[in-house]
Amino acid sequence: MNDAVSKLILVDDHPMLRKGVRQLVELEDDMQVIGEAGNGREAIELAQQLEADLILLDLSMKGMDGIETLRQMRDAGIGCRIVVFTVSDESSDMVAAFKAGADGYLLKDMDPEELVTRIRDACVGKMVLSHELTEVLAKAFRDNARREQDTGYDSLTRREKEILRMLAAGLSNKMVGRELDIVEATVKVHVKHLLKKLGLRSRVEAAVWAVEHHKN
């Protein structure tokens, strides 16, 4: 199979939804569904057996829910992109998903064309979020934000500000490293430092904060 083809695993306890997404994805030349799971346990086993580029993960499943599935996947060392695909627009669910290691959060009622675009973006390393959720997520982070963030921005180095802008554009650590011609481990160190200075807990918070404060 061509290396340019992104490999997906679909995780949802509704077979009809999985079938619909599979049919949508299979219309594209650069994406292919390589596995499906109907619950969290199956999903974790499948993700360990197959080398996927992206896992599209339902939030509300019987038994082990999406957040716990996501958490256990990350604990098991599964490093591929994982995007939550759900009907829930609750800020608490979004925050929990990103804390557990999600790379994106998409709503199931989005247009098929937009879904394909977002899946493709996620496969190449971008953070994806349904448009209508950006402000909801920003407010959730803002409500928990520390007051010293604005002063913290002034204390960032030129390189840290540069990386912050790239995070706001949705670039992964690997993509940032390529853009700046530095190794991924160095990017992680810079991200860790800028998060500490801004009083933020995750790269997603940093991205949303930067967009909200026009630092991108």
Q: What are the pLDDT digits (tens) for 167-211?
A: 888 788 888 999 999 998 999 899 999 988 888 777 777 877 787
The residue behind tokens 């997603």 is 204
Average pLDDT per run of 10 along the chain, which is 216 residues long? 79 95 94 96 95 95 92 91 92 84 90 93 85 71 54 86 87 88 92 87 77 66
d(CA 205, CA 198): 10
CA-closest candidate to residue 9, choices 29, 27, 40, 1: 40
pLDDT at 140: 65
The pairing of strands 31-37 and 6-11 is parallel
pLDDT at 147: 46
Q: Are 8 and 119 in contact (CB under 8 A)?
A: yes
CA-closest candidate to residue 95, choices 140, 56, 39, 135: 140
Q: Which pTM was predicted?
A: 0.71
Spell out a b/e string for 174-190, using b for 16 or more CB atoms within 10 Å of the CB, else e: ebbbeeeeeeeeebeeb
pLDDT at 30: 93
